[in-house]
Structure 1
């Protein structure tokens, strides 16, 4: 195989963007051959804009079984990602799914198992992993530049959404329609990067979510979470969709310095001596290790979605390891599930997450949701 034939499920905002990248030849070794959507208008748009030679489908199983594609990009509503990926693996297709991996980890674990059994290449659209900024942060930590991590702190409140945004669709910001709010819709990239750059998951969490704060919605739109890591390090994650002006600041403090990311800039504060060594030797009343403030060059921002698609295609054609393996989507989702579960139970949540308990709690929210959708909304309409 020297070219991968791609089908796209869902021609909403994200699916449309991926389709344009493919027909503009931004992804080497890939060709768009089919699309699937339940909307006649979106399919007509595809015929007009993407070419009459494109195969169009209203049923995803028909597209999977058509023989017209080798791999699929899934761009449907959150709940459908795992079931549509599992079906694709069953048809022998490679899969690239949009974030999030799903709404609850129990369904995502089934998806990961299906991917493993299929032997196909499975990726997830965590395009922020392509940013030179965060790749450099990960490298600095892995190389020991700040020593053992002691604290992490991320404030990400750039997701301001007015009431009119939520009013634009009855499924928005509902438990039955989206399965969550700022954690599932706006912050998945940061939740993924948080655990990816530090290289570890916490052992327990206590979180406080506000539901419909300053807005008429069902789901969480302001969150503060505290975590503890196996090493004894701690962390805080704060996010909001009702705060303006917003902030995006990441701090990672280690035994030998700290990293600060803000305004697309990376600053390293490098201590001459580790805090542990200094503390053992220092005999004065006040003092601290000498340190240097270093602005780390990281190159121009990237993060375009097609870079992850290219990485996935390279994995299919060349067997190269993926930057964003689909199986890793469960990590960030575990964090968001734990934040909700801690709030609903008003208690600590341990990792690994009690997936059955979270599923039960989520179903309670779905049953009380104002939308008419079932607990597993289907369909391929716009996101």
Structure 2
């Protein structure tokens, strides 16, 4: 069996986790070729925790070493597009941690470069391997819900205390992260929101609370209303300051309704479509009949390991990607639009003026409390099993 040598760019929490999975042999057809990190403390950790693996200070040195065929980009958010572009230019396959970047204009450059290459380009959208969301996507694609009329996602179980934000000076800053709950905690849900139903919103009005519950620069709570091209509507609500939190995704269509909550998919299946019932019904308070079903969910949920395995399989065998890299821009378009709508205090149509968004973001980054390049105290990577 062929084996692809994967290098990890950035060995913070996520990069370290990916490196350990590769080193442990959990990815068939792939090995850990090398790692790199610009922080001395992270390189020291890597030499101790990954003693057989070459460690580099820069991605340029690792890419030129001849030790890697592909990379996983697990650096701070702003660096994702630059590192991806550098790897693609060096002829390496690329898997990017979420989010794809901080603003869409830069991510679009990566998409264009990847499209012009013959390289595999993927996103670490590990929630796409969750069989409950796969089932919903399959049901919608098969027409079981009919035309989608409404979506609601309440995702408020991202509780983060002030101590979390105080643990590193870059957290929840415009210059360090480029956003708050939308860019850090919610990229998976923003991706699944459009991926499962098969369409992007065309217009939205969002209300972000910047530092409303925590002493931070960026958004810690969001309520957004969107409109779809077919006339359907949606609402997305999230926060890091609510306990106890909720994770409930509801999709209503012409033929029924699905609710995903607590890893359970419940389907209210109408005996006839709502539109057909409404045409024939003559009773003032008549309602369509339905059957409530607990839909069985089959299959494993391999999460990060599943995406890395799929990445390796795509390189070695041409296996279709679960999360193609060019789709990383979709969730970011939504979160950028939510920021922009709040900043402008107005509706935003998608696609929006990406240069306007970048200019607004850079204004906020210029006055950010975090100054890129300043020494940052870093702890050793932690075990992320069981966390969001």
What TM-score, normalized to structure 2?
0.95
How do residues 189-200 of structure 1 correspond to structure 2 at under 5 angstroms? 189-200=188-199
Kindly indicate whether the alpha-carbon contact (under 8 Å) linking 1:89 and 1:115 is maintained by their aligned counterparts in 2: yes
* Correspondence for 1:13: 13
User: Is 2:270 the partner of 1:276?
Assistant: no
Report the secondary structure of 2:116's partner residue. helix
Q: Provide the C-alpha distance between the structure 2 equivalents of 1:145 and 1:341, rounded to a whole number of angstroms.
A: 35
* Correspondence for 1:24: 24
Q: Provide the C-alpha distance between the structure 2 equivalents of 1:89 and 1:38, rounded to a whole number of angstroms.
A: 20
* Correspondence for 1:50: 50
* Correspondence for 2:309: 310
- Post-superposition shift, 1:214? 1.8
Report the secondary structure of 1:64's partner residue. helix
Q: Provide the C-alpha distance between the structure 1 equivalents of 2:9 and 2:151, rounded to a whole number of angstroms.
A: 37
- Post-superposition shift, 1:296? 0.4
- Shift in alpha-carbon separation, 1:378–1:112, aligned structure 2, 3 A: farther
- Shift in alpha-carbon separation, 1:305–1:378, aligned structure 2, 3 A: farther
Kindly indicate whether the alpha-carbon contact (under 8 Å) linking 1:73 and 1:95 is maintained by their aligned counterparts in 2: yes
Kindly indicate whether the alpha-carbon contact (under 8 Å) linking 1:154 and 1:248 is maintained by their aligned counterparts in 2: yes
Report the secondary structure of 2:158's partner residue. coil
- Post-superposition shift, 1:48? 2.6
* Correspondence for 2:241: 242
Kindly indicate whether the alpha-carbon contact (under 8 Å) linking 1:150 and 1:233 is maintained by their aligned counterparts in 2: yes
Kindly indicate whether the alpha-carbon contact (under 8 Å) linking 1:133 and 1:301 is maintained by their aligned counterparts in 2: no
Range that drifts further, 282-291 or 193-202: 282-291
Kindly indicate whether the alpha-carbon contact (under 8 Å) linking 1:191 and 1:335 is maintained by their aligned counterparts in 2: yes
- Post-superposition shift, 1:79? 0.2
Q: Provide the C-alpha distance between the structure 2 equivalents of 1:173 and 1:221, rounded to a whole number of angstroms.
A: 9
Report the secondary structure of 1:343's partner residue. helix
Q: Which runs of 5+ in 1 are unaligned?
A: none
1:12-68 CA-to-partner distances (Å, cap 9, x unmatched) read 00011001110111100001011101233322332232233x221101111111111
* Correspondence for 2:218: 219
1:308-367 CA-to-partner distances (Å, cap 9, x unmatched) read 000011100111110001110000000000000000000111111211110111011111
Report the secondary structure of 2:308's partner residue. helix
How do residues 211-360 of structure 1 correspond to structure 2 at under 5 angstroms? 211-299=210-298, 302-360=301-359
User: Is 2:208 the partner of 1:206?
Assistant: no
1:221-249 CA-to-partner distances (Å, cap 9, x unmatched) read 10000000010000000000011100000
- Post-superposition shift, 1:153? 0.5
Report the secondary structure of 1:183's partner residue. coil
- Post-superposition shift, 1:73? 0.5
* Correspondence for 2:38: 38
- Post-superposition shift, 1:117? 1.5
Q: Provide the C-alpha distance between the structure 2 equivalents of 1:301 and 1:316, rounded to a whole number of angstroms.
A: 22
1:93-130 CA-to-partner distances (Å, cap 9, x unmatched) read 00001000000000000011111112200011000000
Range that drifts further, 359-368 or 296-305: 296-305
Range that drifts further, 296-305 or 82-91: 296-305
1:148-183 CA-to-partner distances (Å, cap 9, x unmatched) read 100000000011111010101111110000000000
- Post-superposition shift, 1:300? 6.2
Q: Provide the C-alpha distance between the structure 2 equivalents of 1:158 and 1:83, rounded to a whole number of angstroms.
A: 32
Q: Provide the C-alpha distance between the structure 1 equivalents of 2:68 and 2:113, rounded to a whole number of angstroms.
A: 19
Range that drifts further, 38-47 or 223-232: 38-47
Q: Provide the C-alpha distance between the structure 1 equivalents of 2:343 and 2:283, rounded to a whole number of angstroms.
A: 48
* Correspondence for 2:384: none
* Correspondence for 1:112: 111
Q: Which runs of 5+ in 2 are unaligned?
A: 382-388
1:245-285 CA-to-partner distances (Å, cap 9, x unmatched) read 00000000000100000111000100001111111101111
Q: Provide the C-alpha distance between the structure 1 equivalents of 2:333 and 2:300, rounded to a whole number of angstroms.
A: 28
Kindly indicate whether the alpha-carbon contact (under 8 Å) linking 1:79 and 1:378 is maintained by their aligned counterparts in 2: no
Report the secondary structure of 2:362's partner residue. helix
Q: Provide the C-alpha distance between the structure 1 equivalents of 2:21 and 2:375, rounded to a whole number of angstroms.
A: 26
Report the secondary structure of 2:119's partner residue. coil
* Correspondence for 2:386: none
Q: Between Structure 1 and Structure 2, how many residues are aligned? A: 379
